[in-house]
């Protein structure tokens, strides 16, 4: 099986189940092992704040949800989480937050990046996941020392993007695309991704999503099942979505196909997989993913960062050791103290220099 697929082939492959699906997942895993190897990189996820200026129709921390306690982590809390990541040999920390474009937020992020750079140098890569910002802001954070940025397209098909976002100037598909292009131009390693199993989503749309990521020539991907949240407008359409096990299967097939299409990118096995199956992330690794993002947010704030219902609050009640064992059982070696820069990104750079 080669890595160039057209839309019809992708539609067919996305629907594979049973033994045929297993062989697809296995091929993806073998492709990963042959190209980027079986290393699994750890990224510590810090959920900085759940204040959000956006009102995405699927998301539990949308501005319109009045039923959650809003929080901002203190600098001290962020620093302890960063130290934890360093002490545990994680290659990178991911600073994620609800969207905020205020001058004070932009300054705060810059100073957090400064602090991490000063204290850890190149031993800890900084990944940001802070939504749509101006090109200047992206540049400022890059200059301060952030090297990676995650910004999901959510759905690459404009009509579905419209159906899952409010119709106003803050939630424009074209702005999301420009943001991704700006990030690339500045020189970040860029990650994107989609939710899988959304209402109104077809396998054709998922096939389009895969082709979109290939065309955008992304360096990293994080994608996972859509999980409905009762405090969101999209909850009304829950009868239209596939079963949990179907969303799980589709997510694994998406990971496997993307690995076959883009063998040298980094692909995360996301927390949403773990919300459906307690070994979901490890199953993601077996389908070709190579990154896990353990949540290192202070425990007391985690329950307020419920993007979707039943989001796991801890490492499934397991210690790190439990997680490490399961990663190894999935056939991976844990890459402690390695940056784990996207090989795809490095290859592009060496071609251009
Ligand atoms: N189900 C699954 N993923 C979700 N996200 C937000 N809401 C949900 C949901 N209900 C994802 C989005 C966002 C990321 C931070 O969390 O894809 O980009």
Residue 70 and residue 304 in contact, taking contact as beta carbons nearer than 8 Å: yes
Element (H, E) at 266: strand 266-269
Cα gap 20→155, rounded to integer Å? 27
Ligand 1 mean position to 329 CA, how many Å?
A: 28
Any residues with Cβ below 6 Å from ligand 1, and which?
A: 58-59, 152, 154, 195, 226-227, 229, 272, 307-308
In the 8-state DSSP scheme, what is residue 98? S
Integer angstrom CA distances of residue 333 from 8, 25, 267, 290: 35, 18, 15, 10
Q: State which of 46, 54, 56, 59 you would mutate to test the pocket of ligand 1, scoring each by most atoms of that ligand within 8 A of its C-beta.
A: 59
Annotate 200-218 with DSSP letters as a single string: T--HHHHHHHHHHHHHHT-
Ligand 1 mean position to 295 CA, how many Å?
A: 15
Residue 86, classified by CB atoms within 10 Å of its CB into exposed (0-12), middle (13-18) or buried (19+), is middle
Q: What SS3 class is residue 342?
A: coil
pLDDT of res. 2: 55
Cα gap 129→232, rounded to integer Å? 22
Ligand 1 mean position to 226 CA, how many Å?
A: 7
Ligand 1 mean position to 223 CA, how many Å?
A: 9
Residue 195, classified by CB atoms within 10 Å of its CB into exposed (0-12), middle (13-18) or buried (19+), is buried
Cα gap 177→144, rounded to integer Å? 24
pLDDT of res. 93: 98
Element (H, E) at 125: strand 125-129
Cα gap 29→289, rounded to integer Å? 8
* Among the listed residues 96, 79, 80, the one whose alpha carbon sits nearest the alpha carbon of residue 43: 96
Residue 248 and residue 196 in contact, taking contact as beta carbons nearer than 8 Å: no
Q: Whose CA is nearest to atom 6 of ligand 1?
A: 59
Tokens 């020539």 identify what position?
217
pLDDT in tens, the chain (353 residues): 557 999 999 999 999 999 999 999 999 999 999 999 999 999 999 999 999 999 999 999 999 999 999 999 999 999 999 999 999 999 999 999 999 999 999 999 999 999 999 999 999 999 999 999 999 999 999 999 999 999 999 999 999 999 999 999 999 999 999 999 999 999 999 999 999 999 999 999 999 999 999 999 999 999 999 999 999 999 999 999 999 999 999 999 999 999 999 999 999 999 999 999 999 999 999 999 999 999 999 998 998 999 999 898 865 445 687 899 999 999 999 999 999 999 999 999 887 76
Residue 54 and residue 170 in contact, taking contact as beta carbons nearer than 8 Å: yes
Q: What SS3 class is residue 39?
A: strand
């Amino acid at each position: 099986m080669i890595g160039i697929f057209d839309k019809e082939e992708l539609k067919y492959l996305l629907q594979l189940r049973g033994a045929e699906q297993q062989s697809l997942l296995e091929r993806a895993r073998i492709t990963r092992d042959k190209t980027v190897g079986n290393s699994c990189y750890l990224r510590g996820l810090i959920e900085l704040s759940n204040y959000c200026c956006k009102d995405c129709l699927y998301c539990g921390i949308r501005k319109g949800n009045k039923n959650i306690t809003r929080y901002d982590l203190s600098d001290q809390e962020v620093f302890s989480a960063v130290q934890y990541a360093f002490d545990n040999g994680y290659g990178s920390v991911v600073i994620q937050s609800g969207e905020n474009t205020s001058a004070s937020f932009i300054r705060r992020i810059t100073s957090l990046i400064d602090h991490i750079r000063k204290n850890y140098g190149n031993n800890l890569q900084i990944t940001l996941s802070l939504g749509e910002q101006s090109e200047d802001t992206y540049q400022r954070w890059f200059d301060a020392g952030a090297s990676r940025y995650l910004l999901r397209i959510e759905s690459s098909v404009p009509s579905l993007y419209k159906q899952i976002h409010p119709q106003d100037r803050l939630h424009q598909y074209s702005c999301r695309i420009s943001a991704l292009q700006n990030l690339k131009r500045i020189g970040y390693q860029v990650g994107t991704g989609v939710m899988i199993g959304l209402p109104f989503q077809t396998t054709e749309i998922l096939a389009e999503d895969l082709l979109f990521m290939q065309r955008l020539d992304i360096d990293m991907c994080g994608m996972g099942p859509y999980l409905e949240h009762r405090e969101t407008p999209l909850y009304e359409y829950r009868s239209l979505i596939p079963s949990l096990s179907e969303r799980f299967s589709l997510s694994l097939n998406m990971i496997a196909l993307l690995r076959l299409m883009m063998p040298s990118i980094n692909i995360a096995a996301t927390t949403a997989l773990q919300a459906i199956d307690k070994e979901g992330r490890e199953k993601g690794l077996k389908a070709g993913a190579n990154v896990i993002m353990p949540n290192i947010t202070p425990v007391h704030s985690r329950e307020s960062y419920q993007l979707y219902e039943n989001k796991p609050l801890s490492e499934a009640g397991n210690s790190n050791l439990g997680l490490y064992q399961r990663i190894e059982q999935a056939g991976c070696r844990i890459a402690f103290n390695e940056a784990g820069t996207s090989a795809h990104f490095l290859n592009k750079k060496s071609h251009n220099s």
